[in-house]
Amino acid sequence: MARDKEKRSCGQVVAEWRAFLWDPRTRQFLGRTGSSWGLILLFYLVFYGFLAGLFALTMWVMLQSVDPHVPKYQDRLLTPGLMIRPCAEGLDVTFNVTQSHTWEQHVRALHQFLEPYNDSVQAARNAACPAGRYNEQPDDAVPNYPKRACRFERSRLGPCAGLGPHGDYGYGSGRPCVLVKVNRVINFFPGKNKSINIVCAAKHEEDAALLGPLNLFPPNGTIDLMYFPYYGKRVHVNYTQPVVAVQFSNATANVDHHVECRLNAAGLRTDDERDKFAGRVAFRLRINRE
């Protein structure tokens, strides 16, 4: 039968731990001398320094192949998407005409979005471009030369410009405005030199009567070709996206209206069921009245 090990006292255990932490006889700290610790620290310093240098070199080589002005791969951007303002959660624009707190957030969002479109701002920053043709601006042997942007004045949106005495974009009277914008795509030439526009309607034909007539601003939802192409935010600094305002002048209250807006341009497909946001956007509008 093996002999039981002699039990150590608490004092002996404490003394052994003290000797392990610092042994004054061998001058060891945690079981190693100062030179041993120095060699270990030097090894890890060199090792991790090498890894950091290798990572930095890899990132530098990768960044040399990236153009800061134009995305390297744009093959999936054949058709730009559309988006609305106000950008409500879930693309659901719901409010109560008699309760201002339910639509004041939409008015603030539209004011903020349209601030750069003020006529005075556009006159100071952007150029009056000839209408009806693309605003092509070649570099002329100077890569990424700054491009001039064409004016899109807020006043073009008519009653949806928010410049009237009420400035509520029709939400206070139950005739709300929704802005539709085309997402930016670099070097995108829509329409094949023909005019383009945005069309909106009830998503289901049987709901058209309940939705009522739609007023588009600019007239017919037209987007002039002079706002294309877009050259990127680094060189097209003051570029202002064209927008189309849709006013619902007589939509039936207390009913869910499912609306779809599409970009109508030659050569663009907006009926691809695999991508329901290509060239179109669908949203829900509900105008409640007590």
Q: What tens digit of pLDDT does each residue of 196-213 get?
A: 999 999 999 888 999 999
Which pLDDT value is given to residue 105?
Answer: 94
Which pLDDT value is given to residue 1?
Answer: 42
269 in Cβ contact with 79 (< 8 Å): yes
Q: Distance between CA 178 and CA 259 in Å, rounded?
A: 11
Which pLDDT value is given to residue 21?
Answer: 75
Which pLDDT value is given to residue 263?
Answer: 94
Q: Distance between CA 270 and CA 276 in Å, rounded?
A: 8
Report the Cα 195 to chain-centroid distance in Å.
27
Which pLDDT value is given to residue 242?
Answer: 94
pLDDT value at 8 more than 80: no
Residue spans of the domains in the chain: they are: 15-65, 82-288
Q: What is the mean pLDDT of residues 167-175?
A: 94
pLDDT value at 2 more than 50: no
Report the Cα 234 to chain-centroid distance in Å.
16
Collect all residues with Cβ–Cβ distance below 8 Å to 15 and sequence separation of at least 6: none
Which pLDDT value is given to residue 154?
Answer: 96
282 in Cβ contact with 246 (< 8 Å): no
Mean pLDDT of the chain: 88
Confidence of residue 159 (pLDDT cuts 50, 70, 90): very high
pLDDT value at 215 more than 80: yes
Strands 177-182, 82-85: pairing kind: antiparallel
Q: Give the full edge-to-edge strand order of the sheet including 92-96.
A: 92-96, 280-288, 256-264, 196-202, 222-223
CA 55, 59, 62, 64 torsion: positive or negative? Answer: negative
Of the candidates 278, 198, 236, 245, the one whose C-alpha atom is nearest the C-alpha of residue 86 is 245
Q: Is 247 left (phi over 0), alpha (psi -120 to 50) or beta?
A: beta
Q: Classify residue 169 by burial, with Cβ atoms within 10 Å: 0-12, 13-18, 19+.
A: buried
Please state which CATH number belongs to domain 82-288: 2.60.40.1660
pLDDT value at 63 more than 70: yes
Report the Cα 282 to chain-centroid distance in Å.
18
Q: Distance between CA 219 and CA 182 in Å, rounded?
A: 17
| Between residues 59 and 27, the one the model is more confident about | 59
Confidence of residue 3 (pLDDT cuts 50, 70, 90): very low
Q: What tens digit of pLDDT does each residue of 91-111 get?
A: 999 999 999 999 999 999 999
Q: Give the full edge-to-edge strand order of the sheet including 243-248.
A: 82-85, 177-182, 243-248, 214-217
